Amino acid sequence: FFLPFNSLTFGQLFGIIKSEGLTLCNELKLQAKYGADRAQSRQEIGNFCEAFRFEKIEAPSTKRKRFNKRKGKPRRPPFQPKSSTPIKPNQPWSCAAFYMNNAPEKERGVPRLVINYKPLNKALQWIRYPIPNKRDLLNRLYA
């Protein structure tokens, strides 16, 4: 809601803030009580199901956890490249890479990988000039 700060006195502002704070606290208390009631009702439903020999009702998250525990190894093995170097150094899209080990990297304890993309940019320069659409080509032909 909107407070007209220019037309209110300090006491009125304090009263509004105090009442809003109290309503917020009451709402939070009600939510906490509702959560406790929900937990109690879950326990009662569980007791009811056990008493009448029904299947126990569980939250979807616990079902998912149990399903994941039962799940074994993945059916398909993880992808393994055919060779250790899939991109040969003489190919145009191969890029030189090296590790920087300056002061910040030594401080972190992990060297930084630097890749020189200039040869790749040169090989892919044709992508920067998009193919014109049909209308542009026809306009160029008949102009």
Residue spans of beta strands (DSSP E) within 5-93: none
Residue with tokens 């659409």: 133
Contact 120, 95 (CB under 8 A): yes
Q: For residue 94, count CB atoms less than 10 angstroms from its CB and return exposed for 0-12, middle for 13-18, buried for 19 or more.
A: middle
Which tokens sit at 100?
A: 């920087």
Whole-angstrom distance, CA of residue 111 vs CA of residue 27: 52
Report pLDDT digits (tens) over 53-71: 666 666 656 556 666 666 6
Whole-angstrom distance, CA of residue 1 vs CA of residue 62: 41
pTM of the predicted model as reported, rounded to 2 decimal places: 0.28
CA distances from 36 to 29, 43, 44 (A): 11, 11, 12
Report pLDDT digits (tens) over 92-134: 667 888 888 888 888 888 888 888 888 777 777 766 666 667 7
Residue with tokens 């009451």: 26
DSSP 8-state code for residue 1: -
Report pLDDT digits (tens) over 4-53: 777 878 788 878 878 888 888 888 887 777 777 776 676 666 666 666 66
Whole-angstrom distance, CA of residue 93 vs CA of residue 83: 17
Amino acid 141 reads L
SS3 81: coil
